[in-house]
Amino acid sequence: MILPFLACATPAVVADPAPPEAPVATIESSVTVPTLLGEVPGVSFLGDWTSGPCQGRSYARNVRFEEDYSYAVIDLVSPCPVGTTCMWSGIATFAGEWRQDGTQLKLRELGIASGAGPGGPHPVLFESNAEGKLVENGCIYDRGLTVPTGYAEDKVRPRVPGK
């Protein structure tokens, strides 16, 4: 009896290349966030954030979160136009401490920084969204600063007092 010889070989499997990861500049921390698809990296809150007028606030707000769990805010209520003299510059500042709880930042204001003036409700809670932005009381914050015409970034970048 002659048996046909059949070669059993495993065909070479060529895996499809992994799809490129979407560039997400804000995903930098070791914090993870639970999702339906498992845990994913969380948003790093550190650095400068800005929001235009929104939710009862008619002016831009710049926020800075520091590594030492401090934060500072500049409300650009009515900046004095460059080349003019004003009684009040229209820039209100305040600062405090923050702590992270999952996708949320909880803020505690510590007095009022020098140069304070009128402003809207001060934030107490920020939350990250799926687009890598921050949300505070319905206001969306993007990375960066709002810089009024004629101003330099260093004049509108929030600073924690004593730093």
User: Where do the domains of the chain lie?
Assistant: 46-156
Instruction: Assess contact for 63 and 133: CB atoms under 8 A.
Output: no
Q: At residue 120, does pLDDT exceed 90?
A: no
pLDDT top residue among 139 and 56: 139
Q: At residue 97, does pLDDT exceed 90?
A: yes
Q: At residue 10, does pLDDT exceed 80?
A: no
> Could you identify the residue written with the tokens 């999702």?
35
Q: Which CATH class is domain 46-156?
A: mainly beta
Q: What is the pLDDT of residue 83?
A: 82
What is the mean predicted confidence (pLDDT) over 46-62?
A: 92
Return the percentage of the chain with pLDDT > 70, whole number: 67
Tokens of 27: 């995903």
pLDDT tier, 32 (very low <50, low <70, confident <90, very high otherwise): low
CA distance 163 to 161: 6
Find, among 43, 45, 49, 51, the residue nearest to 67 by Cα.
Answer: 45
